[in-house]
Amino acid sequence: MRIPFTKAHGAKNDFLLTWRNDAPRDNLAAAARAICDRHTGVGADGWLLVSQPDPGEAVDGAIQLFNPDGSIAEISGNGTRCAAAFLLDAGVVPGPEVRIRTGAGPKSMRLIERHGLDFLFEMNMGQPVCSAGPDSGILPLAGAILQTTLVDAGNPQCAFLVDHFDFDWRTVGRAVEHHSYFPNRTNVSFFRPAGPNAIEALFWERGAGETLSSGTGSTGAAAAAIYCEVAKAPIEVRTPAGTLSVRFEEQTAYLTGPAEITAGGEFYLV
């Protein structure tokens, strides 16, 4: 079977987008693993199936996100911006407002600027909810970690305040993702203050592993930084792929970041 795709990335967090009608009708998990594989497939941090809204539904489109391991994720902030760029480029919606139904509910975006296939959006991420994480003895943590915060950012986040990144954070991230404390697994971020309104952050994502940036992870890390009282909004989240910005209006988080369409083609699923 030939699966058409468009490739896009949001701050180097890359996704493949396919209209749901062009996707296989069954065994989507296996198809996701195949198309996202960086050696034998196209390669991506996730596969987004895009569909038209149901009649009367107050959205411009709907998405379902598959991780590279075939599991389904509720939402990706960077991926949802890529889907908004996909819908705008396809002429499905004129903009500047784009509303997309995700596994975490409808999300709205405002197009700030566009240059060809390069877009900049501000996205309403909802209200992240923070709570104190488990005692450090429960999880296999490195000595750099100062405080653990659990965040609901539309998907589960475990955010660690650290004093440096000079430890094997990937191994810690993998262990935390699969720890029995999180029966449905969790996304993991590590952040440290970089000024009164800035943090640096690294990400280990559930079902994907290390990613160069994360929209929900950046939102969760920013909310955790405020919760830990080490930064104040608005917050610049400095990732290995560049800076994402998170502002808060009352308790609602708004994430500003790019989305760029880079390629298109067909994947041959055998």
Summarize the confidence of residues 20-40 as an average pLDDT. Answer: 97
Write down the pLDDT at residue 141: 64
Q: For residue 61, what are the contacts with CB-CB under 8 A and spacing of at least 6? A: 50, 51, 52, 53, 83, 87, 92, 93, 98, 100, 101
| pLDDT at residue 54 in the model | 84
Single pTM value for the model: 0.95
pLDDT computed for residue 189 by the predictor:
97
Distance CA 138, CA 59 (A): 42
- Per-residue pLDDT tens digits for 253-269: 999 999 999 999 999 99
Region 10-26 average pLDDT: 97
- Indicate the residue type of 198: A
User: Is the domain of 172 the same as that of 109?
Assistant: no
- Domains identified in the chain, total number: 2
What does the pLDDT read at residue 133?
Answer: 85
Q: Return the pLDDT at 144.
A: 81
Per-residue pLDDT for 56 more than 90?
no
Pair 39, 137 in one domain: no
Same-domain check for residues 7 and 115: yes
Q: Same domain for 149 and 113? A: no
- For the segment 5-26, the average pLDDT, to the nearest whole number, is 97
**Claim to verify: residue 63 and residue 108 sit in the same structural domain:** yes
The closest of 163, 168, 116 to 142, measured between CA atoms, is 168
Q: Please list, in sequence order, all residues whose beta carbon lies within 8 angstroms of the beta carbon of residue 22, skipping any fewer than 6 positions away.
A: 3, 4
Task: Determine the pLDDT at residue 260.
Answer: 98
Residues 142 and 222 in one domain: yes
Q: What is the pLDDT of residue 146?
A: 85
47 and 67 inside one domain: yes
Same domain, 92 and 137: no
For residue 140, the model assigns a pLDDT of 58
**Rounded-to-integer distance, Cα 19 and Cα 3, Å:** 9
Instruction: Domain of residue 194: give its range.
Output: 129-250
pLDDT, tens digit, for every residue of 117-164?
999 999 999 999 999 987 655 565 667 888 999 999 999 999 999 999
50 and 138 in a single domain? The answer is no
For 241-251, write each residue's pLDDT tens digit: 999 999 999 99
Percentage of the chain surpassing pLDDT 90? 90
211 and 262 both lie in a single domain: no
CATH number (domain holding residue 73)? 3.10.310.10
Is 76 in the same domain as 178?
no
Residues 47 and 145 in one domain: no
Average pLDDT, rounded, for the chain? 95
